[in-house]
Chain A
Amino acid sequence: MSRWGPAAGRFALGAGFIAFILLMWDLGVRGEWVLLFDIKMGFLPPPVDVAKLLWDFAFGGVYDDAFSGSLWGHLGASSLRVLAGFGLAAALAIPLGVLMGRFPLVLATLDPAVNLFRPIPATAWVPLVLLIIGFGSQATIFLITISAFFPILLNTLSATREVSPRLVEAALMLGTRPIGVLLKVVVPAATPGIVSGLRIGLGLAWVILVLGESNGIDTGLGSMIMLAREQVRTDRIVVGMIVIGVAGYLSDRLLVLGLKGAFGRRPLVRAS
């Protein structure tokens, strides 16, 4: 550990624990363990089968059926929906959050409505959305947008309200016009909080994706999982779950790295 440094040591611990989960999974399936909540491990595919299927899902050449090599099409369609919904949510929530945080009149106007709509879960939106929008991509993107909207809005709002009055005073006495303070001081000072909101929103976008794609869509990771359920293919379900988990993780890393790249050394993103 001293030779490779503490980072390598921590990585080894994390990787070791994942290996342990895989081992328990394998033993559980073979021994047909029944766990808490009446989880019947015997119904699960063993990890080796899932790995083989995952390979086939990505590159084909193992089973050569309709499922083989179809990962990229599903992943691409899902990623586009996440990107569209998340992007729309960010584009609406960030400016609105800044205005609400800065202008008491805007806050007083919008705050009650925000608090009424915020507790409505995406699952409750689904039946209505299917009736007023209909099956398809648009319904999924809408669900992602409203789900990602609120965490981005609330984080932007609180970050904006916490901007030190001292920084505003400093900007004014240096000759900034009151209207310029918003972009020159409030937004950069609130950026770490806004970024936290974006990360929560993006994570939620992947969660809601499956919900949205469960209805009347034939490409996408969510629809692939729903199809597998109808076919009683637990192995395909597990493969879909793994792909969504990895995609969500990678998109978060991509967001953070992209922002860090854009900001350079500027201390605008909290260490993660």
Chain B
Amino acid sequence: MTEKTATPGATVRPHRVVDESGRVLLQGVGKQYATRRGPVDAVADVDLEVAPGEFVAVVGASGCGKSTLLRILAGFERHTAGVVEVGGRPVRRPGPERGVVFQDYGLFPWLTVAENVRYGPRQRRMSRTAAKRRAAEYIEIVGLTRFADRYPGELSGGMQQRVAIARVLANDPAVLLMDEPFGALDALTRTSMQHELRRLHVETGATVLLVTHSIEEAVYLADRVVVMAGGASHGVPGHVKEVVPVTLAGERDVNAPDFNAVERQIAALVHAGVGAG
């Protein structure tokens, strides 16, 4: 309804200072699954360090293990090799300092928008009134104040994803893990959501790891783009093929020649990665 004209919400009062709690460290990370035909390596030997406040996008062909990596960082799956640390502490289970935004939103359908957003703060024993105030603030930031008392099922996909983002931000996470968050949205909504995410990243100072299929999205948003290749179906474990820094200054223009040059460079890496490893 309104997301086509993306009403910009309020700006965020920065709740967090960028500190070491947002540092992400992956060292020699691997994930092995047991199958009937023996063990299979989904990913292997992944090394990656993400600085606090940095925005890193992960791209690669389907099955290259980029979502697995994100799920390991979220604590939904256990890595079988290497070191995984966030804020200097090993990741063992899911936790509110690592907010996850799913492609299919994962909102609680029996809670209103406002109740979904204050769910996290309430779980962390924030008082009812403080949690309400905080939820209202973040709902305003994503421009959904008029819809605060609606249920997720009554909202469009773009609006639901904004609720999901507000819900995670209300928890004041050090790291934001996003698994193809805009993959299910139409092109117009997607573009406006990308603008909003860029703004929110600047304003919150959270570290962001974004898994995406869209190279344009990666180049538009990220400070660095991680290109992954391989994958169990290629007979080679998923691995990091290259990390491309995006040094475009100022407001990025998806039609500018230098933007397209970076995009082409990454596309070439992604396509070379298919099959060849």
Contact of A185 among B95, B108, B120, B151 (CB under 8 A): B108
* Chain A residues numbered 153-172 whose CB sits less than 8 Å from any CB in chain B: 164, 166-167, 169-172
When the two chains form their complex, are residues A173 and B95 in contact, meaning their CB atoms are under 8 A apart? yes
Residues of B close to A173: CB separation below 8 A: 74-76, 94-96, 98-100, 168
Interface size of A by CB at 8 A reads: 20
A60 at the interface (CB under 8 A from B): no
A215 at the interface (CB under 8 A from B): no
When the two chains form their complex, are residues A166 and B109 in contact, meaning their CB atoms are under 8 A apart? no
When the two chains form their complex, are residues B120 and A268 in contact, meaning their CB atoms are under 8 A apart? no
Complex alpha-carbon distance, A5 and B4, angstroms: 35
Chain B residue at minimal CB-CB distance from A180: B123
Can you show 5 pairs from A to B with CB atoms below 8 A apart? A166-B106, A174-B123, A175-B96, A175-B123, A188-B108
Knowing A189-B110, A267-B109, say if A174 contacts B167 (CB, 8 Å).
Answer: yes
Contact of A172 among B94, B107, B153, B171 (CB under 8 A): B94
Complex alpha-carbon distance, A25 and B215, angstroms: 74
Chain A residue at minimal CB-CB distance from B154: A267
Complex alpha-carbon distance, A174 and B126, angstroms: 13
Knowing A166-B104, A169-B94, A173-B96, say if A188 contacts B110 (CB, 8 Å).
Answer: yes
When the two chains form their complex, are residues A191 and B98 in contact, meaning their CB atoms are under 8 A apart? no
Knowing A169-B76, A173-B100, A174-B119, say if A267 contacts B94 (CB, 8 Å).
Answer: no
Task: Write out, one digit per residue, whether chain A residues 125-169 have a CB within 8 A of any chain B CB (1) or not (0).
Answer: 000000000000000000000000000000000000000101101
Interface size of B by CB at 8 A reads: 26
Binding site for B on A (CB under 8 A): 164, 166-167, 169-176, 180, 185, 188-189, 191, 265-268
When the two chains form their complex, are residues B96 and A174 in contact, meaning their CB atoms are under 8 A apart? yes
Residues of B close to A174: CB separation below 8 A: 96, 99, 119-120, 123, 167-168, 171
Chain A residue at minimal CB-CB distance from B93: A172
Residues of B close to A266: CB separation below 8 A: 110, 151
Complex alpha-carbon distance, A166 and B104, angstroms: 9
Complex alpha-carbon distance, A174 and B124, angstroms: 9
Complex alpha-carbon distance, A175 and B76, angstroms: 13
B147 at the interface (CB under 8 A from A): no
B102 at the interface (CB under 8 A from A): yes
